[in-house]
């Protein structure tokens, strides 16, 4: 997958996996990585799917309606890529924290839903429930921060709570942070994510 890897100064830190929103690319979230931890490795990936020229991490049939088969395929593809990248760049495969926005948060949530050891944790900015009706792996020891908007037209507050509940049921530690805003990624929620990250 097309990506950027920046080696961090501190090898004991996690690797931050940056996953952009629809129409973004691997450059978009580099400043965000620096705000969370400027000493960690950064692996920033571009989604492999194009929708009218806009990169995404998996196909959708309509706004908010996912192509489930492609979601499953792309989730495995990303998980395999993480294993290859860990070997190539010599970072700890078991110490990856995903940071995703919107479509990127959705594929990060899908990694958690499908693979027990894909991620150590995740910061999900405005995620949706990636799939329903499946049994999640045991996510004991995994930590997830969700930032949601009370007026988010793409991801309703009910869906944010549903995602939290599904992850908690799978034994993950989950913190849900609310912004009185819509789907946008706010400076305040990034600051809250940083505070959460520092407590890990
Ligand atoms: C998705 O398709 O993943 C969500 O609708 C969020 C987005 O628009 O990227």
Task: Report pLDDT for 3.
Answer: 98
Task: Report pLDDT for 37.
Answer: 98
Beta strands in the chain (DSSP E): 3-6, 15-19, 41-45, 49-51, 54-56, 60-62, 65-66, 96-101, 121-125, 143-149, 173-179
What is the DSSP pairing of strand 54-56 with strand 143-149?
unpaired
**Residue range 10-30: average pLDDT?**
98
Task: Report pLDDT for 46.
Answer: 98
Model confidence over 147-176: pLDDT tens digits? 999 999 999 999 999 999 999 999 999 999
**Residue range 63-91: average pLDDT?**
97
CA of 9 to the centre of ligand 1 (A): 33
User: What global pTM score does this model have?
Assistant: 0.98
Nearest CA to ligand 1 atom 1: 103
**Residue range 75-79: average pLDDT?**
98
Q: What is the mean pLDDT of the chain?
A: 98
**Residue range 5-15: average pLDDT?**
97
**Residues with active-site annotation:** 102, 152, 183
How far is residue 93's CA from residue 116's CA, in Å, rounded to a whole number?
13
Is there an atom of ligand 1 within 6 Å of 22 CB? yes
Domains by residue range for the chain, with CATH: 3-198 (3.40.50.1820)
How far is residue 102's CA from residue 184's CA, in Å, rounded to a whole number?
9
**Long-range contacts: 156-162, Cβ < 8 Å, 24+?**
159/128, 159/129, 160/127, 162/129
Percent of the chain with pLDDT over 90: 100
CA of 45 to the centre of ligand 1 (A): 16
Task: Report pLDDT for 8.
Answer: 98
Task: Report pLDDT for 119.
Answer: 98
Task: Report pLDDT for 150.
Answer: 98
Model confidence over 119-151: pLDDT tens digits? 999 999 999 999 999 999 999 999 999 999 999
CA of 189 to the centre of ligand 1 (A): 19
Model confidence over 23-74: pLDDT tens digits? 999 999 999 999 999 999 999 999 999 999 999 999 999 999 999 999 999 9
């Amino acid at each position: 997958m097309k990506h950027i890897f920046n080696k961090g100064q501190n090898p004991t830190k996690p690797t931050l996996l940056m996953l952009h929103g629809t129409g973004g690319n691997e450059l978009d979230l580099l400043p965000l990585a620096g705000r969370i931890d400027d000493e960690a490795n950064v692996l920033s990936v571009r989604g492999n799917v194009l929708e009218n020229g806009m990169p995404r991490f998996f196909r959708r049939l309509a706004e908010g309606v996912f192509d489930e088969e492609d979601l499953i395929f792309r989730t495995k593809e990303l998980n395999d890529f993480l294993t290859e990248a860990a070997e190539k760049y010599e970072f700890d495969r078991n110490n990856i924290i995903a940071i995703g926005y919107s479509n990127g948060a959705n594929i990060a949530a899908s990694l958690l839903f499908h693979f027990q050891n894909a991620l150590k944790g995740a910061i999900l900015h405005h995620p949706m429930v990636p799939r329903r009706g499946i049994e999640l792996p045991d996510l004991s020891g995994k930590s997830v921060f969700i930032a949601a908007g009370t007026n988010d037209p793409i991801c309703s507050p009910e869906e944010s709570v549903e995602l939290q509940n599904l992850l908690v049921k799978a034994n993950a530690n989950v913190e849900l942070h609310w912004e009185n805003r819509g789907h946008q990624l706010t400076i305040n929620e990034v600051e809250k994510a940083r505070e959460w990250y520092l407590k890990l």
